[in-house]
Amino acid sequence: MTDLSNKGIFGEFTKGFWKENPILVMLLGMCPTLAVTTSAIKGLTMGLAVLFVLTCSSLIVSIVRNIIPKQVRIPTFIVIIATFVTMVDLFLKAFLLDLSKALGPFIPLIVVNCIILGRAEAFASRNRVILSLLDAVGVSLGFTVTLILLGGIREILGMGTFFGHVVFGPRFDQWVIMLLPPGAFITLGFMLGAKNIIDRKFEEKRKS
């Protein structure tokens, strides 16, 4: 059980943004993070897809948590998650075909995204419905914001645009490497470094 008096309901919601950010701190869900963030809009779509899947599966897992026998809980979680992922995939194919094509197999790969299984196992299967929902929404919003940031940096440097709007003039020399796989690894590496620096600054401030 989580310590309520310590964090409070609001704490469950906000921890996903910074202190327990799924990407920057827990290093979960790296595959979609690196693969789809060639532009901010793709990052946003991926984040929203994860938001839907994580929220719905946390809700269901939390409701049925006392009925599932311990031995078969992981397969049950995976089947629940896979069902919602199929729904998102069909939705994207029906209404946003271009984005669905651009994201390719990374929408179905949400099934094995460790963030979702991790939250189901570590949180939703042990907590009340309302807390699980807050936790799920908080964590996936933290995920989404990080994806937009990473996608934004890569889009701005790689194409000179942000959400399709031109940021730099036509004279801007595009850094094509940012759109290719090495750019993803290196940008995320430096984002982790930046987070460490900011954390240390806060630590020093608190001490003095």
Partner 1 sequence: MEVFLIFISAVLVNNFVLSYFLGICPFLGVSGKIESATSMGFAVTFVLTLSSAITWLINNYILIAFKVPFLEYVSFIIVIAALVQFVEMFIRKMSKTLYDTLGIYLPLITTNCAILGLALFGALRKYGFIENIVFGIGAGIGFTLALVIMAGIREELDLADVPQPLKGAAITLILAGLLALAFMGFAGLISA
Q: Where does this chain bind partner 1 (CB under 8 A)?
A: 27-28, 30-32, 34-35, 74-75, 78-79, 82-83, 85-86, 89-90, 104-105, 108-109, 111-114, 117, 177, 180-186, 188-190, 192-194, 196-197, 200
How far apart CA 79 and CA 111 sit, in angstroms, is 9
Which CB atom, from 4 or from 194, has the smaller least distance to partner 1? 194
Which CB atom, from 133 or from 157, has the smaller least distance to partner 1? 157
Backbone angles phi, psi at 39, to 5 degrees: -150, 160
**3-class secondary structure, 48:** helix
Minimum distance, C-beta of residue 117 to partner 1, in the bound complex (Å): 6
Minimum distance, C-beta of residue 74 to partner 1, in the bound complex (Å): 8
- Quick one: which of 173, 121, 152 has its CA closest to 36? 152
The CA distances from residue 200 to 2, 153, 196, in Å, are 27, 23, 6
Which CB atom, from 164 or from 181, has the smaller least distance to partner 1? 181
How far apart CA 125 and CA 63 sit, in angstroms, is 9
Minimum distance, C-beta of residue 106 to partner 1, in the bound complex (Å): 8
Which CB atom, from 74 or from 129, has the smaller least distance to partner 1? 74
